[in-house]
Homo-oligomer: A and B are copies of this chain.
Amino acid sequence: MDVARRAGVSQKTVSRVLNDEPYVSAEVRQRVLAAAAELGYRLNTAARALASGRTGSIGVVTLGTALYGPVTMLMSIERAARDAGYALRVVNTVEGDPDGITAAVNSLVEQGVDGVVVSEPIDEGAFSFRPDVPVLVLGMPAAFFAPPAVTVPGHAAQAARSATEHLLELGHLTVHHVAGPARWYAAGDRLRGWRAALAAHGRPEPPVIEGDWSAASGRAAGRRLAADPGVTAVFAANDEMAVGVIRALVEAGRPVPAEVSVVGFDDIPLAAYLNPPLTTVRQSFDAVAREGLAHLLRAIEGPDAAPPPAGDPPVELVVRGSTAPPPA
């Protein structure tokens, strides 16, 4: 309004300039920009959202923990969203809250977002809501939701399989698995990959020990594993648990990797600096976030939006010092 007067144009023209719309003469554009700068003018997001129906922000549902995987995914989503011109709203799901994800998505929709990303999906039975914006669920088997939901599968199963095969190729007769909580889809993926590798090689499948992603739970699992002299190789569903397993093994006098090999999952930044350096699987959170967001933006903006990047996100086994052939 003030800017319009000062630049001697209509309010709508100011709007056009500030939104980079076409059909504004260069001269007028300059004049408006100058006036806006002088007045320290800022577009009011609330008014824009009210008038346009779009908020320019997307919401993320994430875990309220410092675990590497979820946190890195959040950071990657932030970057991808910002690059696409969207602001981010974040809601943590609280541990133990029964319908945490549903509630979190709802709160985001109420806050006003153009789309929602569910970063670490947990099986809560059915998602009992009909959000009126697109929802992207990361790391989920497709076709689990009706639109407007969109899913991006993730490649953890395949990666888990190659981690297990690495151990098998080293000469281990079988591989034990310390899984994540059963309700986490991410845990299921890894479990499936491990199982597939064992089956493909005709190896016996030892009972699964379930952890909660934490190093403490890894250590508890490791204690049970250490008591069984038949255990020579362990695949943990994330690096934190792998660290706990190694700790328990070492405490029990079973050196890693001399007696028992351990591989983790995620490649936390510390992995290369541990004693021993941790063999693990690295996945590109950035790639997954970027691909997922591209899908989400299509659902929001329509088919004119940039098409999602093609190609598999890189997943790679990083062999370091925590794996070796089994003792003779």
Any B CB within 8 A of the CB of A180? no
Any B CB within 8 A of the CB of A300? no
Any B CB within 8 A of the CB of A243? yes
Q: In the bound complex, what is the Cα–Cα distance between A89 and B71 (angstroms)?
A: 16
Any B CB within 8 A of the CB of A66? yes
Of A1-9, A29-37, A105-113, A187-195, the one contacting chain B is A105-113
* A82 interface neighbour in B49, B91, B250, Cβ under 8 Å: B91
Q: Mark A95-127, 1 if CB is under 8 A from B, else 0.
A: 000000000000101111000000000000000
Q: In the bound complex, what is the Cα–Cα distance between A273 and B218 (angstroms)?
A: 10
Q: Mark A45-89, 1 if CB is under 8 A from B, else 0.
A: 111011000011100000011101001100100110010000111
* A66 interface neighbour in B75, B91, B112, B275, Cβ under 8 Å: B75
A78 adjacent to B50 (CB under 8 Å): no
Any B CB within 8 A of the CB of A247? yes
B89 adjacent to A89 (CB under 8 Å): yes
Any B CB within 8 A of the CB of A274? yes
Task: Give min CB distance, A275 to chain B, whole Å.
Answer: 4
B110 adjacent to A43 (CB under 8 Å): yes
A92 adjacent to B110 (CB under 8 Å): no
Known: A87-B89, A270-B240, A275-B274. A50 touches B42 (CB 8 A): no
Which of A42, A214, A244, A274 is packed against the most chain B CB atoms within 10 Å?
Answer: A274
* A75 interface neighbour in B57, B65, B78, B246, Cβ under 8 Å: B65
A246 adjacent to B275 (CB under 8 Å): yes
Which of A66, A89, A91 is packed against the most chain B CB atoms within 10 Å?
Answer: A66
Q: In the bound complex, what is the Cα–Cα distance between A112 and B42 (angstroms)?
A: 10
Contacts of A55 in B (CB 8 A): 46
Contacts of A50 in B (CB 8 A): 44, 46-47, 50
Copies of this protein in the assembly total 2
Known: A50-B46, A92-B75, A215-B272. A87 touches B111 (CB 8 A): yes
A66 adjacent to B57 (CB under 8 Å): no
Closest residue of chain B to A108, judged by CB?
B87
B270 adjacent to A215 (CB under 8 Å): yes
Closest residue of chain B to A52, judged by CB?
B46
Q: In the bound complex, what is the Cα–Cα distance between A228 and B97 (angstroms)?
A: 53
Chain A contacts to B: CB under 8 angstroms: 42-47, 49-50, 55-57, 64-66, 68, 71-72, 75, 78-79, 82, 87-92, 107, 109-112, 214-216, 218-219, 240, 243-244, 246-247, 250, 268-270, 272-275
With A43-B110, A45-B111, A66-B71 given, name 14 new contacts (CB 8 A): A42-B109, A44-B112, A46-B46, A46-B47, A46-B49, A64-B75, A71-B71, A75-B92, A78-B90, A78-B91, A89-B90, A214-B269, A243-B273, A243-B274
